[in-house]
A and B are shown apart, each in its own frame.
Chain A
């Protein structure tokens, strides 16, 4: 019986039937927001346990992590003076550390290996690895709430709202990463009075997502560099370049398609999620690319890695008098964190560093550009040709960097040997 309640999100007919049921149940509670919130939490919980490799134990773990972060945040939102400031700071740091620790334990083999008694015997088979679907995303949402509670931006934390925010099923697996203050007020309105537009816009978005996932992905996948049917060793330089271009397109269609589906499904339920993609391949430099690619993650990293680091480094004279150096250091660190968040292998760190360095180069370039006095050069920079050239260069920079993301060291060496033969 339980096997019937097992389906991939967005990729199975059963999910769409379940989503339709969830829409009916959640929307039925629109006159009573509290009842609607309970209905949404019940639907989220029920649908999450349907995900293959995510069961009751995993759901309990997520509830446990949510309860821990909620408890920390509730203390931090107590009225001013109720908790000494030093204690608040320590508690906030511990809360963030606990969420990062949760992320590290369920994401990185080597961290879990520290706690495994069979590690000494050398047993470290991937099948033994305990993972938790969605941990990369809900841990970041929890950190966001802890930090904003410490800063007193969030002043009132309702447990039901918080659990709904963390477990919201349309975006649980791979985002978009919504902000608490943007999500929770929608629990009050619960889609009241917007059924028609929500259904129309949500359905339209779902169609776009399905087109990207079912059609465009299918068209490009045969050519991607990671396709087992196209072994790297058998590829020419042109074949490898085609594989990289195809992988870049595949990544965009698949992930932006997923984001469309998540945003569309949320809209059917009466909720607006933040956008994740905005024509990234039309952006004129890699800095603007990243403000239009996986936007919810980029803005999270800027708010919780870049700016805290920048504020801390400004305490040092060396960085205070060198704003470009400060910016470069912070940006590179932020994207190293981005790479580490994507995966534990060294190639993800290298990929993050690649983009951090690329954005840093743009920062330096843009600063130097302003010093040029030639009117011809200034006219060129303002021209459409400059923008087109920039877009083409940016798309290529991202696409070639994909090799670091998709391939391990041996395959990278093979690619380099083939392309630069």
Chain B
């Protein structure tokens, strides 16, 4: 368990990036399939 934890800590960046890229691809494909995002893009000020 300690060795696993050590591996996770050492490779934390790669694990995070892989996780994020995977879900980006999933959600992007879902959005493309649905004909684009229906979520309002929040422009954080009125121009």
Q: Considering the complex, give the chain B residue whose CB is closest to the CB of A345.
A: B46
- Whether, in the assembled complex, B45 has its beta carbon less than 8 Å from a beta carbon of chain A, the answer is yes
Q: Which of A40-48, A111-119, A206-214 contacts the other chain?
A: A206-214
Q: Considering the complex, give the chain B residue whose CB is closest to the CB of A212.
A: B20
- Whether, in the assembled complex, A215 has its beta carbon less than 8 Å from a beta carbon of chain B, the answer is yes
Taking CB atoms, residues of chain B closer than 8 Å to A8 are: 41
What band does the interface of chain A fall in when counting residues whose beta carbon is under 8 Å from B? 20 to 34
- Name the interface residues of A106-138: CB closer than 8 Å to any CB of B: 106-107, 131-137
Taking CB atoms, residues of chain B closer than 8 Å to A107 are: 46-47
Taking CB atoms, residues of chain A closer than 8 Å to B37 are: 11, 214, 218
Q: Considering the complex, give the chain A residue whose CB is closest to the CB of B23.
A: A215
Taking CB atoms, residues of chain A closer than 8 Å to B28 are: 214
For chain B, the count of residues having a C-beta within 8 Å of the partner chain is 19
Q: Interface residues, chain A, CB within 8 Å of chain B?
A: 8, 11, 106-107, 131-137, 173-174, 204, 207-208, 210-211, 214-215, 217-218, 221, 226, 250-251, 254-255, 258, 294, 341-344
A–B Cβ pairs within 8 angstroms, 30 of them = A106-B47, A107-B46, A131-B47, A133-B47, A134-B47, A136-B46, A136-B47, A174-B43, A204-B13, A207-B17, A207-B20, A207-B24, A208-B20, A210-B24, A211-B20, A211-B24, A214-B24, A214-B28, A214-B37, A215-B20, A217-B42, A218-B27, A218-B31, A218-B39, A221-B40, A226-B40, A254-B44, A255-B42, A255-B44, A344-B46
Q: Interface residues, chain B, CB within 8 Å of chain A?
A: 13, 17, 20-21, 23-24, 27-28, 31, 37, 39-47
